[in-house]
Every structure is written in structure tokens, then in C-alpha cells.
């Protein structure tokens, strides 16, 4: 006759064995998933305002010397630039690229935060070229400028294009003031010679003599072997770029 007491003991033993086996399999699975590299290098995806979803099966635990790793749940950092959170709910975006930011703005790392912020494009150029001292800061530390083209409000975390309407009323422009703040003035008129811009030093509208932007163009097919000692081969841009690190792109 079957002993129910023994049966209960056997059933309990089988449950324990099954639980341990499942735990081992789960541990092995997640360990495998955790160390698996998650690399996103498609430029179309990187520059998309949609970003990529978080996936905590992969977390970057180390990165190149002198650089930041990506935040948890985001892909592996690329070319020294980490992925950061942006939006609510957050998604992953690669710092140093436009991503979710509007025209001529790039995603920077917010100081002391896993999130990114949209900073002025001219800041990116100066920071990557080691010319951060050319970014001018207002006496109270709230505003940052690079010339008369863009101004950044660190309280609102917004980069403004200057000599445009911006947040001002119709018929007004948002400009850098003589006291190094951001303010609205009457729009500068168009004259026979073309556009005018506001000069905060003279508090006057003056003729604009704008030049062309930075040149571009392809130099032919580039391989990693073509890069110089002070360059790296960008797996995203498919060309040689200066050895810059994303940790230079930090905005407070």
C-alpha cells in the first residue's frame, strides 16, 4: 500500500529539486544576457528622435579610459560617447548626436544625472576642440553663450537661437543683452544690404556679414588603417575623427 507520508516527502523533494534547477537555469540565462554586448551603431537609429528602448539584460560596467559608461539599460558606449536617458518615460539616446533635440542642438550629459539635455551646437564644437574657455558665461552663471548665435539658459535647460522671435512677442527678437542675460528687443529691420543682427556691445542693430558653414564632403572610402595617431575610426560615421571623449560634453 502506498505510504502517503512518504509520498508527501517525495513531492516536497521533487519541488525543491525543480526549484533549484530552475534557479540555476535562470541565473545562467541572465548571466549570459548581462555580459552580452548590446551595440547600436546604425546612424539612422542614433539620429532618430525615437531613441531605443531600455533593456536591463545588458548594462555596461566599464568603458574606455577617461570616458563614462552608458547608463543602465542602454547600449554600449561608442567612440567614447555614452548613451543617456531622455524623455518621460525615458529612452536611450547617444550623447554627442542630435537625437531628440531640435535644429542645431546636440545631446549633452547633464552634470550629476543619468539624463541628457539638449545643448547648443556651438558648445559641442568648442568642447570637443578643447576650446571650452571660448564659451562665455554670465556673471550669475545662469546663461552661456558662444558669440551672438546661440544662448543657453541653465535654469530652464534650453538652448535658444538668438536674433529670432523665440519666446518673445510678435515683432520682437530674443537676444543676448548687454548685461549678459537673454531678453526681448524690437526686431532688427532688413535693409538694402541684407539682414541685420543685434550687437549687445553697442546695443544696436548692425549689418550681418555671415559666412558659410563648415565644409563637408567625402574624402573617399576610409578604413581604420587610414587614421592618424590622434584619430580614431568612428564605427558610426565610417571615417576618422579626433580622439574625443563624451565626458567632455557635460553641461551643468
Say what the pLDDT of residue 107 is: 95
Strands 250-251 and 150-153, sheet pairing: unpaired
Percent of the chain, pLDDT > 90?
40
What is the spatial distance between Cα 132 and Cα 230, in angstroms, rounded to a whole number? 19
Q: What is the mean pLDDT of residues 148-162?
A: 91
Contact between residue 59 and residue 34 where contact means Cβ atoms under 8 Å apart: yes
- DSSP codes joined into one string, 13-79: HHHHHHHHHHHHHHHHHHHHHHHS------HHHHTSTT-B---TT------STTSPPPPTTSPPPBT
What is the spatial distance between Cα 79 and Cα 60, in angstroms, rounded to a whole number? 14
Of the pLDDT bands very low, low, confident and very high (cuts 50, 70, 90), residue 193 is: low
Say what the pLDDT of residue 104 is: 86
Instruction: Report the chain's terminal Cα–Cα distance, integer Å.
Output: 78
Of the pLDDT bands very low, low, confident and very high (cuts 50, 70, 90), residue 36 is: low
Of the pLDDT bands very low, low, confident and very high (cuts 50, 70, 90), residue 247 is: low
Q: Which residues pair with 116 in a beta bridge?
A: 109
Strands lying side by side in the sheet with 105-110: 116-120, 105-110, 250-251
Whether the pLDDT of residue 251 is over 80: the answer is yes
Residue whose C-alpha cell reads 541684407 in the numeric block = 194
Whether the pLDDT of residue 217 is over 50: the answer is no
Say what the pLDDT of residue 202 is: 86
Using DSSP's 3-state secondary structure scheme, residue 216 falls into coil
Tell me 131's DSSP state. Answer: -
Instruction: Rank 33-42, 141-150, 235-244 by mean pLDDT and report only the highest.
Output: 141-150
Supply the mean pLDDT for the chain: 77
Instruction: Rank 13-17, 25-29, 219-223 by mean pLDDT and report only the highest.
Output: 219-223
What is the spatial distance between Cα 144 and Cα 135, in angstroms, rounded to a whole number? 7
Amino acid at each position: 500500500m502506498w505510504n502517503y507520508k512518504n509520498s508527501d516527502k517525495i513531492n516536497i523533494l521533487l519541488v525543491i529539486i525543480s526549484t533549484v534547477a530552475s534557479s540555476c537555469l535562470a541565473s545562467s540565462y541572465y548571466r549570459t544576457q548581462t555580459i552580452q554586448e548590446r551595440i547600436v551603431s546604425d546612424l539612422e537609429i542614433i539620429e532618430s528622435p525615437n531613441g531605443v528602448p531600455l533593456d536591463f539584460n545588458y548594462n555596461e560596467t566599464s568603458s574606455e579610459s577617461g570616458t563614462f559608461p552608458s547608463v543602465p539599460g542602454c547600449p554600449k558606449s561608442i567612440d567614447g560617447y555614452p548613451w543617456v536617458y531622455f524623455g518621460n518615460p525615458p529612452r536611450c539616446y547617444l550623447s554627442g548626436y542630435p537625437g531628440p533635440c531640435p535644429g542645431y542642438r546636440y545631446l549633452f550629459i547633464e552634470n550629476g544625472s543619468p539624463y541628457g539635455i539638449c545643448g547648443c551646437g556651438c558648445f559641442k564644437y568648442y568642447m570637443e576642440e578643447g576650446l571650452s574657455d571660448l564659451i562665455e558665461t554670465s556673471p550669475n552663471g545662469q546663461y552661456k553663450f558662444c558669440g551672438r548665435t546661440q544662448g543657453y539658459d541653465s535654469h530652464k535647460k534650453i538652448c535658444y537661437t538668438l536674433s529670432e522671435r523665440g519666446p518673445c512677442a510678435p515683432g520682437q527678437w530674443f537676444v543676448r543683452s548687454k548685461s549678459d542675460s537673454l531678453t526681448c528687443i524690437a526686431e532688427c529691420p532688413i535693409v538694402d544690404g541684407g539682414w541685420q543682427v543685434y550687437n549687445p556691445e553697442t546695443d544696436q542693430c548692425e549689418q550681418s556679414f555671415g559666412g558659410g558653414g563648415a565644409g563637408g564632403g567625402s574624402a573617399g572610402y576610409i578604413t581604420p588603417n587610414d587614421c592618424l595617431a590622434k584619430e580614431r575610426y568612428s564605427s558610426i560615421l565610417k571615417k576618422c575623427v579626433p580622439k574625443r571623449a563624451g565626458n567632455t560634453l557635460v553641461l551643468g
